Structure 1
Amino acid sequence: MKVGIIGTGNMGRVIARRLIHGGHQVFVAGSSQEKGRALAQELGGQGPGTIEAAATKDAVASGCDVVVLATWYSQSTRIAVELSDLLRGKVVVDIANPFNETFDGLITDYDTSAGEEIQRRIPGAHVVKAFNTTFAPVLADDAFDRTVVDVFLASDSDEAKARVAELVESSGLRPIDAGALRNSRVLEQNALFMVELQGRYGLNFQAGLKVLAAQALPFPARAAAHA
């Protein structure tokens, strides 16, 4: 697939690297052109996929199947508003957690979430919450502690979820269908809980959420999307 990634921080970097290894065509946009070019140069040639730097609007409008907002919540909401017309009809992946300044609470109201707020700003797009419970050091490992990393996906569009699930699986990760977009509230609360555990146990963000099941967990939305 063609994937636009907005953001060149730790999460943008590891997601881009994963997608390149999965054989996808990545367009990356940073807060400056220099940051985008630096990341493209750093990751270029590291897998069967490709990566090139692009301006933010170009990363969205370059025929991308999926656009990843790998930015802080405040930046993601701003980008969603500014590029709402360009994002119409696209699958938009929101990875943000709406943490407060002290990382001990969320700034969103109890009856909404970052994922839902992003969707509200771009009603013509299909928002998928993903990667918000997977810290960058965990994603950087091919099989964290010899266990495939789980990525929880929440969206009101089964087809959009299935498309992101294909990206996740091709990148060596396991997609978990987390239901409707309103479940972003639960995922974001879980991310907050995981941040607290980092401090309590000194985990250095090398920990993640994992579903342990006695049977295989096929991605149900994929079958529905291709039916």
Structure 2
Amino acid sequence: MKVGIIGTGNMGRAIAQRLIRGGHQVFVAGSGHEKGQTLALELGGQGPGTIEAAATKDAVAAGCDIVVLATWYSDSTRIAVELSETLRGKVVVDIANPFNETFDGLITDYDTSAAEEIQRRIPGAHVVKAFNTTFAPALADSAFDDTVVDVFLASDSDDAKAAVAELVESSGLRPIDAGALRNSRVLEQNALFMVELQGRYALNFQAGLKVLPAEPLPFPARVAAHA
């Protein structure tokens, strides 16, 4: 797939690295062109996929069918407004957690989420919440030895969710269907809880949420019928 990543921080780098190893064509843009170029030079040649820097975030949004907002919540909402027309019809992956300044609470109201606020700003796009419960070190191959990292996906578009699931699975990760976009509220609360655990147990952010079913999980999830 042709995937654009806006953001060159720890998460942007980790996701780009995974996608390159999965054989995808990655275009990356940072707050300055030199940041994208630096990341492209660092990760180039690490897999069958490719990576190159785009001149601007507008170029990333225009040239890719899937765009990952690998930025802080405040930046993601601003970018969503700026690129609202450019992102129309595209799949937009939101990884943000709306943490407060002390990382012990969320700045969003209880009846919304970062993903829902971003979707509200780009009504013509299909927002998928993903990667918000996976810390950057946990995306590294060595983080969990042979245990596959779970990536929870929430969206109101089944087609968009399926496209991101394919991207996730091809990159050596396991997609978990987390239902509608409103379930991002739960995912973001879980990310807050995981941050608290980092401090309690000094996990160095090499931890994540994992579903341990008795049998392999299908995608999309099959909802059990109840009498």
Identity, % of aligned positions: 87
Deviations 1:149-204 (A, max 9, x none): 00000000000000000000000000000000000000000000000000011111
Cα distance in 1 for partners of 2:130, 2:22 equals: 17
Cα distance change of structure 1 residues 195 and 69 upon mapping to structure 2, 3 Å threshold: same
Native 8 Å contact 1:162 1:221 kept in 2: no
Moved more, 211-220 or 99-108: 211-220
Q: CA deviation at 1:143?
A: 6.3
| TM-score (structure 2 length as normaliser) | 0.96
Local SS of the residue matching 1:105: coil
Contact map agreement 2:143 2:206 (CA 8 A) in 1: no
Aligned to 1:158: 158
Structure 1 segments (4+ residues) deviating >3 Å: none
Partner of 1:209: 209
Give the Cα separation in 2 of the matches to 1:66 and 1:127.
10
* Contact 2:137/2:143 (8 A) holds in 1: no
Matches of 1:78 and 1:150 in 2, distance apart? 28
Structure 1: stretches of 5+ with no match in the other structure: 223-227
Maintained 8 Å contact 2:7/2:69: yes
Post-superposition CA distance 1:72-94 (Å, at most 9, x none): 00000000000000000000000
1:24 is aligned to 24
Deviation readout 1:105-164 (Å, 9 max, x if unpaired): 000000000000000000000000000000000001256232100000000000000000
Structure 1 residue aligned with 2:74:
74
Post-superposition Cα deviations, 1:32-67, rounded to whole Å, max 9, x if no partner, equal 0110000000011111111100011101111x1200
Report the residue type matching 2:119 in the other structure: Q
- Could you tell me the TM-score, scaled by structure 1's length? 0.96
Secondary structure in structure 2 of the residue aligned to 1:19: helix
Partner of residue 225, structure 1: none
For 1:46, what is the secondary structure of its paired residue?
coil
For residues 84-99 of structure 1, the aligned pairs below 5 Å read 84-99=84-99
* Aligned equivalents of 1:96, 1:179: Cα separation in 2: 18
> Aligned equivalents of 1:36 and 1:131: distance in 2?
20
Displacement of 1:218 after TM fit?
A: 1.4
Q: In the alignment, residue 60 of structure 1 is paired with which amino acid?
A: A
Distance 2:44 2:195 in 1: 32
CA RMSD of aligned residues (A): 1.1
